[in-house]
Amino acid sequence: MRKHHMPEMKEAGVNVTPLIDVVMCLIIFFILVAKIGVSTGLDKTIDAPTTYLGVPITDLGNALALNLYPKAGADEPQILVDLKGERQKELKLQDNKGGKLVHPLREVLQDLKKERGAKFKVIINADKGMRYAQLQLVLQACAEAGVSSVNFATKPQSKLVPA
């Protein structure tokens, strides 16, 4: 009688190909979802006030961040914005162009408000020590431009239980 030999057993090991497929899919998903390097236009070096209340703004595409810096010896603050691909562009509250008084900040806000409608919002990012004398000029410009949604950038603080 012929002997039937069992075939040689080879070490199979774990097939990692499907694992790599799944992991690659997850990586692609997180690359698309994660907001890495997305600029909000806010200057993080500004020491904003600290509050325990606040809401995250998810619709930053319809928001214009105004970074305010106090100007020594001047009533109005320096305003820097990220606008149309140009980073830290200075916008003045008012300027003299060829003998004519213009209001660049107000005009920009009006144009954006017209373009984006009611969803348009302004984010004010200023140092906590800034005086209201300078801040109110920016708020007035927003009001004159018809911007009704003005938000104030603050730093989160650990939640205190209000009395």
Partner 1 sequence: MKIKGAKAVHYDSGPNMTPLVDVVMVILIFLMLTGSFGAAAHFLPSSMPISMKGKGQIDPTKIPKVPDPQLEIFVASKTSTDYVARLADGVQYLNGVAPSGKTLVQALTEKRVAHEGLGKSADTLQVVLCPRLSTQYDHLMQVYQAAMTAKCPKIGFQSAKD
CB neighbourhood size of 63 (10 A): 20
Site string for partner 1, 18-37 (x = CB under 8 A): -xx--xx-xx--xx-xxxx-
Cβ contacts of residue 78 below 8 Å, gap of 6+? 68, 69, 70, 71, 90
Cα 83 to Cα 67, 77, 90, 111, distances in angstroms? 12, 18, 10, 12
> Which residue from 1, 9, 38, 101 is in contact with partner 1, where contact means CB under 8 A?
38
Count of residues touching partner 1 (by CB under 8 A): 57
| Closest CB to partner 1 among residues 88, 140 | 140
Of residues 44 through 73, those in contact with partner 1 by CB under 8 A are: 49, 51-57
Site string for partner 1, 133-162 (x = CB under 8 A): x-xx--xx-xxx-xxxxxxxxxxx-----x
CB neighbourhood size of 40 (10 A): 15
CB neighbourhood size of 103 (10 A): 17
Distance, in Å, from the CA atom of 86 to the CA atom of 150, rounded to the nearest integer, reads 22
The verdict on 111 binding partner 1 (CB under 8 A) reads no
The residues of the shown chain that bind partner 1, judged by CB under 8 A, are 10-11, 16-17, 19-20, 23-24, 26-27, 30-31, 33-36, 38, 40, 42, 49, 51-57, 121, 123, 126-133, 135-136, 139-140, 142-144, 146-156, 162-163
